[in-house]
């Protein structure tokens, strides 16, 4: 366990903003993680748990308590049969390394989640997903430290309350994820391709399967085109990825949106994207709404915070942005979409020390 003081949190996040943590403790084993969290809680200090920092926007004032940085490691095969393999992954494992290992080993089910930054422990919290896959499809168990009960608590996948970009672990600081257990299909081919742009890039029809390595490379190409693969030399990747989640609306709300789009844009047939949800609601595209509200790629340049030049969903640090700059742009976009279309976008990153 390593302890440091007044460490700038901007250096530990992909958005690269944020003031110093009063104390930073880096833990490399599960026991160290539990001990560090218990110590902070017993002392009554504020606690910030972070790993890859890919979903955090920390205030410029920094964090007045202890930040516990998870650097635990371990990918262990626990069971295998003719069709599947069960694998337990430590919270601190780099997520894309896990995906790369899965592809190499013939573990199907997360190949479409290639290139997503961050650590494995964060994936169940917001039910990480992309290109038609979500981690909830392969997670069978999440082991946590329950800060209220001061005990380890394990949740079967069915009890994690997974929904779109959400779980029982999001919006609460009660649980610290220690490790995640996955069940992967043993296969040389991917799960059916469920995303049109990905299918197009592969030159196959929706629902087709391709070799796992081809699916991974195609996903990485798609993400690079959108500035969604971390690159220290590319400011379009100095972000938290998608800053807003896609709105999920009741059918009546979606019809009202379509009518408002038609009036504003002057089109005969309303055209906001619609994706049917299993519960009867309709999901639409935050990126589409942002663009049609007048916030196009690169909006804000040459300011220190601007939309990515590759993707309207990514708010980016152009090199010298502060957290205040990021939040000011996020508010402008959120309020502009609400004024234009009556839809209030919800931020995906966790905001530390401030609110949108």
Beta pairing, strands 63-70 & 20-27? parallel
Q: How large is the C-alpha radius of gyration of the chain? A: 21
Phi, psi of 312 (to 5 degrees): -75, -10
Question: Residue 319: exposed, middle, or buried by beta-carbon count in 10 A (0-12, 13-18, 19+)?
Answer: exposed
Q: What are the residues whose beta carbons fall under 8 Å from the beta carbon of 250, sequence distance 6 or more? A: 281, 282
HSE of 263, CA atoms in CB hemisphere, 13 A: 9
CA distances from 337 to 242, 298, 316, 332 (A): 16, 17, 18, 9
Question: Bridge partners of 189?
Answer: 211
**Short-list 75, 125, 63, CA closest to 102:** 75
Q: What are the residues whose beta carbons fall under 8 Å from the beta carbon of 10, sequence distance 6 or more? A: 16, 17, 18, 19, 58
Catalytic sites, residue numbers: 165, 242, 348
Say which DSSP state 139 is in: E
């Amino acid at each position: 366990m390593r302890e440091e003081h007044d460490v700038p949190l901007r250096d530990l996040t992909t958005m690269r903003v944020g003031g110093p943590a009063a104390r930073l403790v880096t833990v490399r084993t599960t026991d160290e993680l539990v001990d560090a969290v218990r110590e902070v809680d017993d002392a009554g200090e504020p606690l910030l748990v972070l790993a890859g920092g890919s979903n955090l926007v920390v205030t410029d004032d920094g964090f007045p308590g202890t930040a516990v940085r998870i650097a635990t490691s371990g990918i262990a095969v626990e069971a295998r049969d003719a069709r599947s393999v069960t694998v337990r992954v430590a919270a601190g494992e780099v997520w894309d390394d896990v995906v790369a290992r899965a592809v190499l080993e013939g573990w199907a089910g997360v190949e479409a989640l290639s290139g997503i930054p961050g650590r494995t422990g964060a994936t169940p919290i917001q039910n990480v997903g992309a290109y038609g896959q979500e981690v909830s499809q392969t997670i069978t168990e999440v082991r946590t430290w329950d800060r209220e009960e001061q005990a380890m608590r394990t949740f079967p996948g069915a009890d994690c309350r997974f929904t779109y970009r959400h779980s029982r672990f999001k919006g609460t600081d009660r649980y610290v994820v220690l490790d995640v257990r996955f069940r992967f299909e043993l296969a040389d081919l991917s799960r059916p391709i469920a995303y049109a742009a990905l299918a197009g890039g592969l030159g196959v029809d929706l629902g087709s399967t391709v070799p796992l390595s081809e699916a991974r490379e195609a996903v990485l190409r798609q993400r690079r085109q959108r500035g969604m693969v971390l690159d220290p030399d590319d400011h379009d990747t100095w972000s938290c990825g998608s800053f807003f989640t896609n709105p999920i609306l009741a059918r009546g709300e979606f019809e009202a949106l379509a009518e408002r789009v038609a009036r504003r844009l002057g089109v005969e047939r309303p055209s906001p994207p619609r994706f049917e949800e299993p519960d009867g609601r309709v999901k639409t595209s935050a990126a589409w709404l942002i663009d049609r509200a007048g916030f196009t790629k690169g909006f804000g340049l040459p300011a220190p915070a601007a939309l990515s030049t590759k993707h309207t969903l990514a708010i980016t640090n152009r090199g010298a942005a502060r957290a205040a700059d990021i939040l000011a742009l996020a508010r402008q976009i959120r309020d502009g979409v609400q004024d234009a279309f009556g839809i209030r976008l919800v931020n995906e990153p966790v905001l530390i020390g401030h609110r949108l």
